[in-house]
Amino acid sequence: MTFAGGTAEKSRIFHEHAQDNVYFPSHKTSAGYEHIDEDIKLMAEMDFKMYWLSIAWTRIFLNGDETQPNQAGLDYYRHVFEFCRKYDIEPLVTISHYEIPYYLSK
């Protein structure tokens, strides 16, 4: 399930699965997840000293009813933190995030 931000003119859109050729605000955005290494390198080139990011708990607990965290999600954030460290960029982490797992939204 993907939640997309709504506005006063257009309500929130819900999708059970990703849809081809459907872009923000429905669910596809800048592909930062896929380009995180490149983005951190660019930040270093611009002499950034800090990267503010949120930990999406939907990446750690995908549905909200798991008893164990999603290892791939934990590995992703570990990679981001290590890559930041490699370029002397301090991660500033927001623990709370606006996404909620689908199971909890029902």
Specify whether 5 is located in the same domain as 55: no
Residue 92 above 90 pLDDT?
yes
pLDDT of residue 76: 93
The pTM assigned to this predicted structure is: 0.67
Q: pLDDT tens for residues 46-60?
A: 999 999 998 888 888
Specify whether 49 is located in the same domain as 39: yes
- SS3 per-residue string spanning 26-79: CCCCCCCCCCHHHHHHHHHHCCCCEEEEECCHHHHCCCCCCCCCCHHHHHHHHH
Specify whether 19 is located in the same domain as 35: no
What's the number of domains the chain is made of? 2
Q: pLDDT tens for residues 17-56?
A: 666 666 555 555 667 778 999 999 999 999 999 999 988 8
Specify whether 14 is located in the same domain as 57: no
Between 48-52, 68-72, 74-78, 101-105, the lowest mean confidence (pLDDT) is in 101-105
Specify whether 41 is located in the same domain as 72: yes
Specify whether 69 is located in the same domain as 24: no
